[in-house]
Amino acid sequence: MGTEMGQKRHSASLANKVFIQRDYSEGTTCKFQTKFPSELESRIERTLFEDTVKTLNNYYAEAEKIGGQSYLEGCLACATAYLIFLCVETRYEKVLKKIAKYIQEQNEKIYAPRGLLITDPIERGMRVIEISIYEDRGSSGSSSGSSSVSGSTAR
């Protein structure tokens, strides 16, 4: 019931979501597990996935790095009573923008052609990297996740 809609369309439907959890082995810094989830085995190469996660981890490490530049930023901000952030972005925010761009790029080039979609972790409270797996409706009458059992067609 209702699948007849989907069957007419060449649209993908959401089949499943995989969640890459945080890796806390180095403390509270933001880092995601690079373990390859089994649901993606048939969809994408392991190396590509690991590359994506490692790059994201590097970006986050860069954002949270404590060193000369962050101290300078902190002291300057304190000296100006944090008003400086009305004009200038924090380093963290700049890196987050880079991350968003990177994820979009990865989605376009690598993940979308394989029927996958990465959601930016910031939209999930930095808890998980959510990877949505899409099934092509046209290819299978009832895809694994979301279509109903009755594949009745109304023509």
Out of 25, 38, 42, 47, point to the residue binding other proteins (CB under 8 A).
Answer: 25
Q: Does 139 bind other proteins (CB under 8 A)?
A: no
Q: Which two tokens stand for residue 75?
A: 């002291």
Out of 35, 54, 65, 109, point to the residue binding other proteins (CB under 8 A).
65
Cα–Cα distance, 13 to 43 (Å, whole number): 15
Using the rule CB under 8 A, is 87 a contact of other proteins? no
Half-sphere exposure of 99 (CA within 13 A, CB side): 26
Q: Which is nearer to other proteins, 16 or 47 (CB)?
A: 16
In the list 40, 53, 63, 131, the residue contacting other proteins (rule: CB under 8 A) is 63
Residue 16 CA to residue 132 CA, distance in Å, equals: 6
Q: Residue 36: which residues within 8 A CB-CB, separation 6 or more?
A: 46, 49, 50
The smaller minimum CB distance to other proteins, of residues 87 and 149, is found at 149
Identify which of 121, 126, 148 has the alpha carbon closest to the alpha carbon of residue 137.
148
- Max Cα separation, the chain? 71
- The whole-angstrom separation of Cα 106 and Cα 112 is 8
Q: Contacts with other proteins in 89-128 (CB under 8 A)?
A: 90-93, 96, 117, 122-128
In the complex, the smallest distance separating the C-beta of residue 59 from other proteins, rounded to whole angstroms, is 13
Binding stretches for other proteins (CB under 8 A): 1-3, 5-6, 8-19, 21-22, 24-28, 63-66, 70-71, 73-75, 77-78, 81-82, 90-93, 96, 117, 122-128, 130, 132, 134, 137, 144-149, 154-155
